[in-house]
Structures are given as C-alpha cells and as structure tokens.
Structure 1
Amino acid sequence: MPTILIVGATRGLGASMVQTYAANANNLVLATARTSQPPESTSNITYVPGIDLESPHAGSDLVHFLETQRISHLDLVIITAGYFATESLKEPSFSAQERMFRICTIGPTVLVTALANYNSKLLDSGSKIIFVSSESGSVTLRHESEGGGNYGHHASKTALNMCMRLLSLDLKERGIAVAAVHPGFMRTDMTRNVGFDKFWDEGGAVTPHVAAKSLVQWIETFDISKTGEFWAPRGPGDIGTAEPVLGPKDTLSTPLQLPW
C-alpha cells in the first residue's frame, strides 16, 4: 500500500489532493492540519493534527506522529501549504514578508530535513518529494508587462525553488526525487482573498480538483531523472508572461519545464 503524506491538507489544493489519492483504496493518505481538531479520519485517510509550518517544531511533531502510527516508509511527500499577502511599492509589509517566508520556504525545507534525517528507511530510493511552488517564483518569467510588487510572495517562492534544488542534490545519492511545481492558477480562497478572483476567467483559473488531477498525473511520470527541476504540469496556459518570455503558447509543451 503506497503511503502518501500531504502537508497542508484541509483546504484548497491540499484537500483536493487528499481526495484524489484517497479515491484509490490501495493508497494510505496522511493529511496534516494546523488545527488540533482536523476532519474525521476514514479507512485510508489519517489526519495528522497540529502540524504548523510556522512552528520550528513542525518536523519533530510530524516525526513523532509517524512513530506513534508505526509509519515506517513514505512513498510520496507533497507540501501544499502556503500564504499570500499582497504588497506594493507604497505598501510593503515586513510582517507579511516574514510570515510568507516562514510558511512558504523555511517551514517546508526544515520539515523535509526532519523526515530525511529520521532514518534511512522513511525516505529511500523511489520516494518522491513535491514542493508546491508557483510560476511567480521564476525570475526569468518576471516581465515588465506584469509589473512589480508582491515582493514577499514572489521571493518566498523563488527561495523555495532554491531550497528544493539544494535538497535534490543532498538526496540524489539516496535515490529520492525532489521537484517544485506550479500547479496552475486556481479558484481558491487564497487567490480570492488577495483580489485575484477578478482575473479568474481571463487567466483560465481552474478549481483545485482539476489542478489536483493534473498534478497527480504528472507525479506518476516524475522520477529521479527529473530531480531538482521546476515544472508546470498544466503547461503555459495560465502563465501570463509565458508568451513574451518563452514564445507563442502553441509552441510550448504541456507539461512545461519552467525556467529559474
């Protein structure tokens, strides 16, 4: 029975990933929640309470839970947790930037190191680690047509991509494949809360369920030969700067490997 750990699993893409993987009765899905009272576990979904990526203890708390449940191996780890606060030149925010880096970069990186250092069997040859990033973390794709602002959001995703790349180098000899993905522009509370819902139709935003299906299909094809890479499983369709930077969308592939 494959064991799949999804971090940030109670809302948006994370919740949809849980349901997509749990639809296969052969999968055991471990789903983390920040709250101490997560949804009820089912026959093949086990909710892990109290895992907060803003806490320095998130990794040790998760490892302790895995010990109590006698989970000895993880086939797949997907970290979907994120936070987005908007900023502009006139309205930057030290506190918002700090929180975005804690949740989007530092927390995921330290949590994965905790899993990797637990023992040599929890993550081993054939295990996969997927960091949910964003095309906004690509320096190359930042184009004048988009403008500036949103410093903490974009920079925290760029930093996440770098941490992913470094972890891929650390874990390659163990046969552990690591990647960052842009899952697509989604119709979620996160994008609505920052006013991006006005771009949903024009930008081709999809529901988290649709994005989850595309991501699951891509993960099936992902292996150690692509470790350390940055991908958009849904291709260039919702990447607004793809054409001015990379060329006509009809010449770009789906899935699309993204530039740093």
Structure 2
Amino acid sequence: MSKNVLIVGATRGLGASLRKLYAAKASTQVFATARSNKAPDTNSQSNVSWLQNVDLTKPDVGEKLVSQLPSSTKLATVIITAGYFGLESFDSPDWDKQVQMYTTSAIAPVFVVQKLVKSGFLNEGSKVILVSSESGSITLRHEKEGGGNYGHHASKTALNMVGKLLSLDLKPNGIAVGLVHPGFMRTEMTKGVGFDKFWDDGGAVTPDEAAKSLALFVDEFDISKTGEYWAPRGPGDIGTAEPVLGSNLPTPLQLPW
C-alpha cells in the first residue's frame, strides 16, 4: 500500500534530504513544496510531485498548497521544515527579520495545517511534524550561550506553543502533532549566519544524517506522544543540555519547554 508524505520546504537543507530519503522508497509518494514557480530538477525521482509558489510568508499559503494536491489524497505524514534565520544582536535588532522569522516559523504552520485538515487531506492516523529547534526551549537558555538572536529563538518558542495547541485541537481527530529539534546541521542557513565556525565543536551533522534520524523518529511517533517536544538525535549537539538537565541523558531526548 502506498504512503503519501508532504514535505513543506523541500528545495534545500533538511527538507531536500527528507524529500530524497522518502522518495527512495518506491511505495511512498512525496509531495514537495517550493517557494518559487520553478521546482528543482528531480527527474530521477518519479514519485515526487512538486507544489509550487508555496510561500510561508504569504497569507494564502494554505490555499496555494491544498489547491495543488489531488482531491483524493490522504497524507500519512506532513513535515513542515521550512525556516528562515536572520542574525541579530542586542545592539542591532532587525524588525523585518523578526517579522519574517515569526511568520515563517509560527504563523504559517497554523494556516497550512488548518487547510489540510479542513480539506480532508489529514485524518485519523496522520502525523504532523513541526521542525522546531532546541533554541526554542526557554529552560535550555543559559548564560553559557548568552543572549541575542531574539527573533530566531522566540519564533521557535512560539512554534512550540503552536504545536502544542494544534495537538489539542487535532487529538480528537486522531491526528498526532510533534515538535522536533532535528539537530545542529551543516547547512547554508547556519553557514549564512556564521555558525559554520561552531560546526566541528558543536557536533553538527549533514542534512542527510539529520533526515535519517528524524525519519526513524517519525516512524515510531504516534498519538501517545502528541504535543511533545523531542530531539531525535539526543543531547549531543545541544550545548546547554548537560549544564541544565544533567549528564547521562537519553537518545531520543524529550526536551523541556
């Protein structure tokens, strides 16, 4: 029996790796979103269908997405991985960057998931995975890593609340909602804000490695864990995990809000 998976933000980074990973399974049909009207060339992946002009900064993102799905589609898994990281400091906060981060991370997912549910694409047994970050944990924020990057951290905290609320709204429908820190990754996004200097010491992994551990976690994730916040790869790349939570932490690691 074929399985339908939707990857929101599938052109690069973790999203692209998830797209390739799921498409490698002949029994899986992957629906992949691109922000532009020109999807990447994936001729070798015949089971990938591109949904174009899906821009998480636009109010009609939900309508644009569902209008391109075949009406009879039932999605087993939705992974919303699209993100934006605008570097800031206390001395130079940036209004526009913060608005874009909050919109992409915490506002758009509500409209995407709501449209998918109301249009009948998600039903009992479906899973929604929202890619958050350990940076959204208030408990894990520690003087070791200092302040700054207000929009990035706080938009992930807002996403965590959005995921929790969605889990409460969708539990009666049998739809499970999870929040994940996929790992510190060697991507253009982290390089673009200068975090490549921390890759080696911080245990950063490739998007392909992060995709594999995330997919394994998703396979095991079900309604019994709905509304929870997890690090599938464990504490290894979370610099404040041991100072805040102690040693000998498990993998996967449930993260504190």
TM-score range, shorter chain: over 0.9
Question: Distance in 2 between the 1:257 and 1:24 partners?
Answer: 28
Q: Please name the residue that 2:96 is paired with.
A: 95
Q: In the alignment, does 2:256 pair up with 1:259?
A: yes
Output the CA distance in 1 between the equivalents of 2:212 and 2:119: 31
Q: Counterpart of 1:179 in 2: which secondary structure?
A: strand
Paired residue for 1:37?
38
Which runs of no fewer than 5 residues in structure 2 stay unpaired? none
- 1:209-224 to 2 correspondences below 5 Å: 209-224=208-223
Tell me how far apart the structure 2 counterparts of residues 35 and 23 of structure 1 sit (CA, whole Å).
Answer: 24
**What is the deviation of 1:40?**
3.8
Q: What SS does the corresponding residue of 2:86 show, helix, strand or coil?
A: coil
Normalised to the residue count of structure 1, the TM-score between the two structures is: 0.96
Secondary structure of the structure 2 residue equivalent to 1:36: coil
CA distance in structure 1 between the partners assigned to 2:84 and 2:110 by the alignment: 15
CA RMSD, Structure 1 to Structure 2 (Å):
0.9
Secondary structure at 1:54 match in 2: coil
**Count of equivalent residues:** 254
3-state SS in 2 of match to 1:65 = coil
1:11 aligned residue: 12
Aligned-partner Cα distance in 2 for 1:48–1:206? 28
- What is the match of residue 46 of structure 1? 49
Once residues 140 and 82 of structure 1 are traced to their aligned partners in structure 2, the CA distance between those partners, rounded to angstroms, is: 22
SS in 2 for 1:124: coil
Structure 1 contact 5–31 (Cα < 8 Å) conserved? yes
- Aligned with 2:73: secondary structure? coil
State the match for 2:201 in structure 1: 202
1:103-122 aligned at under 5 Å gives the runs 103-119=104-120, 122=121
- The residue aligned with 1:20 is 21
Q: Contact (CA 8 Å) 1:40, 1:47: kept in 2 or not?
A: no
The residue that corresponds to 1:136 in the other structure is 135
Residues 132-179 of structure 1: CA deviation (Å, up to 9, x unaligned): 000000000000111000000000000000000000000001100001
Using the TM superposition, give the Cα deviation of residue 71 of structure 1 relative to its aligned residue in structure 2, in angstroms. Answer: 4.1
Amino acid at match of 2:88: E
C-alpha distance in 2 between matches for 1:96 and 1:34: 18
The structure 1 segments of at least 4 consecutive aligned residues displaced by more than 4 Å after TM superposition are none
Deviates more, 1:84-93 or 1:223-232: 84-93
In the alignment, which residue of structure 1 is the partner of 2:226?
227
SS in 2 for 1:166: helix
